[in-house]
């Protein structure tokens, strides 16, 4: 008897989870009330081979459609899924269309950070909160939050700390 794939949303963690036997896959997202932005999909080759990735994204897209949300595929897996499933493309944001237009291999997550985004990530790396970074840069905390969100999307990071780690790995921070 084949194992059943169980897929559920965990909104508090910002992800859809698929389970097959002892293995799990996650499609991580941010939901701003208008758009689901899929910034990372964690899945093993075995789960991909068993069709779990397709089913995971199918459930996530159905949920987005049911809630009337647009979709931004901000990681390679989500871009590839939407490219191969044109019936989902009516939910794309303008940025999502741009990402779909990239050539396979020009994966999201490689877009360069702006100077301001780097300055903000330096503040995060120093342990500062958004208000403290805002004071240092003469900006509002909301502007800091917006720039940090853009940097996280560009880096395909799931939180502030993850963004700093990726920025360090890519040489943006020292």
- Same domain (yes/no): 15, 93: yes
Distance CA 78, CA 31 (A): 15
The encoded tokens of residue 17 equal 């989870």
Residue whose C-alpha is closest to residue 153's, from 100, 95, 103, 102? 95
Indicate whether 108 belongs to any domain. no
Distance CA 150, CA 148 (A): 5
- Same domain (yes/no): 37, 94: yes
DSSP secondary structure code for residue 75 in this structure: S
Instruction: Give the pLDDT of residue 131.
Output: 97
Q: Which domain holds residue 29?
A: 5-101
Instruction: Give the pLDDT of residue 13.
Output: 93
Helices (H), 6-129: 45-49, 52-66, 76-84, 94-101, 115-125
Residue reference for tokens 């995971």: 56
- Same domain (yes/no): 84, 138: no
Indicate whether 56 belongs to any domain. yes
37 touches 75 (CB < 8 A): no
Mean pLDDT per block of 10 residues along the chain (174 residues) reads 85 94 92 91 82 93 96 86 90 85 54 86 96 96 94 82 82 80
- Same domain (yes/no): 164, 126: yes
- Same domain (yes/no): 95, 37: yes
DSSP secondary structure code for residue 112 in this structure: P
- Same domain (yes/no): 21, 67: yes
- Same domain (yes/no): 93, 143: no
Determine the length of the chain: 174
Residue reference for tokens 């940090």: 148
Instruction: Tell me if the pTM is above 0.75.
Output: no
Indicate whether 80 belongs to any domain. yes
Indicate whether 106 belongs to any domain. no
Helices (H), the chain: 45-49, 52-66, 76-84, 94-101, 115-125, 130-137, 141-155, 160-169
* Structural domains counted in the chain: 2
Indicate whether 110 belongs to any domain. no
Indicate whether 109 belongs to any domain. no
Instruction: Give the pLDDT of residue 94.
Output: 87
In CATH, what number is assigned to the domain containing residue 53?
3.40.630.30
Instruction: Give the pLDDT of residue 167.
Output: 83
The encoded tokens of residue 93 equal 């944001």
Query: For residue 48, how far is the Cα from the chain centroid?
Result: 19
Indicate whether 121 belongs to any domain. yes
In CATH, what number is assigned to the domain containing residue 152?
1.10.10.10
Instruction: Give the pLDDT of residue 109.
Output: 54
């Amino acid at each position: 008897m084949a194992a059943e794939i169980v897929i559920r949303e965990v909104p508090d963690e910002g992800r859809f989870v698929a389970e097959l036997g002892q293995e799990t896959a996650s499609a991580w997202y941010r939901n701003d009330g208008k758009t689901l932005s899929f910034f990372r999909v964690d899945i093993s080759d075995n789960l991909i081979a068993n069709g779990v990735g397709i089913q995971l994204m199918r459930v996530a897209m159905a949920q987005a459609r049911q809630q009337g949300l647009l979709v931004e595929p901000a990681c390679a897996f989500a871009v590839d899924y939407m490219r191969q499933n044109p019936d989902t493309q009516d939910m794309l944001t303008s940025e999502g269309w741009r990402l779909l237009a990239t050539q396979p291999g020009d994966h999201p997550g490689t877009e360069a950070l702006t100077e301001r985004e780097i300055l903000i990530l330096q503040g995060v790396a120093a342990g500062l909160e958004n208000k403290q970074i805002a004071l240092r840069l003469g900006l509002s905390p909301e502007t800091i939050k917006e720039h940090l969100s853009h940097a996280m999307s560009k880096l395909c990071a799931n939180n502030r700390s993850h963004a700093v780690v990726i920025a360090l790995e890519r040489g943006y921070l020292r």
